[in-house]
Amino acid sequence: MIRSVCLAGLLGLAGCVIDSKVDEINLDLPEQQVIVDTGTWKLTDEGRMPAVECAGMPGICADRVDMWCGAEDVCQATCGTGTCEIEVAVALWNTINLEQEATQLAQLDGQPLQTVTIDEVTFTVSDNTLNVPSPPLTVSVAPSGVMSVGGRNSDEVGVIPALEPGQTVGEEKIELTPAGQSVLSERMRDYQTPFNLVVGSTVTLRAGEQVPSGRLKADLKVSAHANTGL
């Protein structure tokens, strides 16, 4: 808000001092929880991935995918270096509706935000019972109908690094991509349009490797502030 304070007459001086201040509001997002749960993949109960020869036999891996991974909607089987490999698509998302979640935005009465500044994006891992290293998890923003990393009009923000089995993490900053801060700022500046915060990866299971079990629970937090121009 722009305030004009005239000192002439009050102090017997000529002229006025203009005190310009743009109103600023907190725009922190509520913590967003993501859970990587291998139980939903319905993997084989064998201790290690079986070695199935596939060289020169197109289609054999795809025909047998349900033997190793019962979640057909997230698993694909391909022929790797002579044996079958399973690729598990990890896709987790939360829909962000700033107009409903950030109550301070009500004062704008639909007027646009001037700027949104991302102060930091952090993550914590409070529960990790995975028996194998977790994959790096890509964090993206996307339109509300997009639920996978790399989907149409999605933009990468940063990456949660791979963790060792059982490793937990206190609050740490996510390393943002070169454009990560700006793409997240633009999504949040358009506060009347809901968007998805998407976390995803691809887990590749090869012959002889330990079959994953357990789960990992992470919480994402976006700290930001906005200038309203009011």
181-204 pLDDT per residue, tens: 999 999 999 999 999 999 999 999
DSSP character at residue 69: B
Which residue pairs from 170-179 have beta carbons closer than 8 angstroms and sit at least 24 positions apart in sequence? 170/124, 171/122, 171/123, 171/124, 171/221, 172/122, 172/123, 172/124, 173/120, 173/121, 173/122, 174/121, 174/122, 174/123, 174/139, 174/220, 176/121, 179/155
Q: Does residue 17 or residue 149 have the better pLDDT?
A: 149
Residue 7 scores a pLDDT above 70: no
Residue 95 scores a pLDDT above 50: yes
Q: Contact, 82 vs 180, CB < 8 A?
A: no
Residues 226, 228, 229, CA angle at the centre, nearest 5°?
135
AA identity, residue 118: I
* C-alpha to C-alpha distances, 210 to 11, 35, 75, 213, nearest whole angstrom: 81, 21, 17, 9
Cα–Cα distance, 113 to 105 (Å, whole number): 9
Q: What is the pLDDT of residue 228?
A: 87
Q: What is the pLDDT of residue 10?
A: 38
Residue 218 scores a pLDDT above 90: yes
Q: What is the pLDDT of residue 109?
A: 84
Q: What is the pLDDT of residues 107-164, one digit of tens each?
A: 888 889 999 999 999 999 999 999 999 999 999 999 999 999 989 999 999 999 999 9
AA identity, residue 106: A
Q: What is the pLDDT of residue 58?
A: 80
Residue 226 scores a pLDDT above 80: yes
Residue 6 scores a pLDDT above 50: no
Q: What is the mean pLDDT of the chain?
A: 89
Cα–Cα distance, 141 to 137 (Å, whole number): 13
